[in-house]
Amino acid sequence: MPKSVFDAHRLIGPVPFDDLPQDPRPEMDRLGIERACVTHTLSLYSDARAGNDALLALGDPRLVPVPVVVPGDPGPGSREAARDLRPAAQESAARDALAVAPEPVPRDALAAAQEAVAAEVAAWGVRMIRLCPERHRFDLTGPAALRLLAAVALPVAIDLDETSPAQLRHLAERLPDLRILVLNTGYRRLRALAELMAVAPNVWAEIGTVNTQGGVEWLAERFGAGRLVFGTGAPVSDDCGPRFLLDHLDLPPEDVGRIAAGSLEALL
């Protein structure tokens, strides 16, 4: 059994579609999980800003905050940034109505808004952020996301169900210094995941849902335990299964220790 366990993928807060525990700590205690990277459910199912505010107010060193960021939308970073866009949009609409050729714009208003979001992310002092391109309806490899991720220079967690291996490969190629943690990898797309990891050394994989016989060992043999991290997705996903899987991996103890906590520490 590993000496230390660090969960890369947990939620805190109410879940709208089920009656699930809002506080992960009692279950973490029961399963011997010392720390966890947590995202607030409000950020996923309601309002990213409200969820991030609640998350950053926790103040528990066991719970490492992973706020959700929405590229291209000034709202998560600053309501003032959203207001800054209105004069430019109104001026553009007025020019169109008068059929007047537009004058050169000295600064991209959207870029300014994104800079405000990046500045707020930096002020949070967090170790990782999370993106939800499908849930929040933005282009993972579009100019807004690429600009923001390059500016914040933080690891990013992305659920595989929110994107595709092809999109993640494109993201990894465009931003080779970006550290990408793929959550909820499952076991039905192991070949696609392996192909992605083979060409993108800046991609790590969460193993909590790789619940097929020998699947984690197969990945560790090809890419090393240092690119695999323990995670559960609890309470929406089961956490007992991944914890059992971790204790019964057919790997050397040092590799199990890396997956349990060391790989995530290195990623962060």
Averaged pLDDT for residues 28-55: 96
Give 190-195's long-range contacts (Cβ < 8 A, gap of 24+): 190/215, 190/218, 190/219, 192/165, 193/160, 193/165, 193/219, 194/219, 194/222, 194/223, 195/165
Q: Whose CA is closest to 73, among 149, 123, 145, 127?
A: 145
Residue 11 lies in a domain: yes
CATH code of the domain containing 160: 3.20.20.140
Residue 105 lies in a domain: no
pLDDT tens, 215-227?
999 999 999 999 9
Residue 90 lies in a domain: no
pLDDT tens, 183-205?
999 999 999 999 999 999 999 99
Split into its structural domains, the chain has a count of 1
| pLDDT value at residue 78 | 43
Q: Whose CA is closest to 267, among 206, 217, 222, 185?
A: 206
pLDDT range class, residue 73, cuts 50, 70, 90: low
| pLDDT value at residue 83 | 46
pTM of the full structure: 0.87
Q: Which residues make Cβ contacts (< 8 Å) with residue 138, sequence separation at least 6?
A: 70, 71, 72, 73, 144, 145
Q: Which residue range(s) make up the domain with 58?
A: 6-77+111-267
Instruction: For residue 189, give both structure tokens.
Output: 């797309």
Residue 220 lies in a domain: yes
pLDDT tens, 130-183?
999 999 999 999 999 999 999 999 999 999 999 999 999 999 999 999 999 999
Residue 95 lies in a domain: no
Residue 29 lies in a domain: yes
Residue 96 lies in a domain: no
Q: Which residues make Cβ contacts (< 8 Å) with residue 154, sequence separation at least 6?
A: 121, 126, 127, 128, 129
Residue 218 lies in a domain: yes
Quote the mean pLDDT of the chain. Answer: 89
| pLDDT value at residue 33 | 98
